[in-house]
Structure 1
Amino acid sequence: MPYYVYAIHTDHTNNRLYKVLDEVVAAEKLEREMSDHCFARDNYFVRSFFAKDSMEAEAKADALRPYPKLKPSS
């Protein structure tokens, strides 16, 4: 499964996909690099995770938000 690296926004701003990678080590490295560029005042945090496709990745990223924007599927 591919690994997705996202900027997860803590406000109304849409989440941002940084990159899709095939290796967990590369995804974790990018997550650390991007997290190092975050400041306390920024409205996002960076996370990497695996998902079977981009739709699942978007849903997982949204679920990490303090206030998810997507409606949960029934």
Structure 2
Amino acid sequence: PAHLNTVADALSRHDADHDTDTVDTAGAVMCIRSRPSFAFIDDIRRATASSTDAQHLHQRLEAGDLEEPW
């Protein structure tokens, strides 16, 4: 019930003055395009590319020298 929703957001609020039955929506289009942005992964890739420790671990991984969970 609405009275229990103590942290209402914009999607759960109801505007009593706005009657959607009388709004002309002909030609109205709403398009939202988004995708996750993981810039920190690129940062990690750049940092590990120049890290001797990371390169050493990668070589050991490829050689099969590392046990699980690697």
Give your verdict on TM over 0.5: no
For CA contacts below 8 A with separation 6 or more, give which structure has more relative contact order: 1
TM class by smaller structure: under 0.3
- TM-score after normalising by structure 2: 0.25
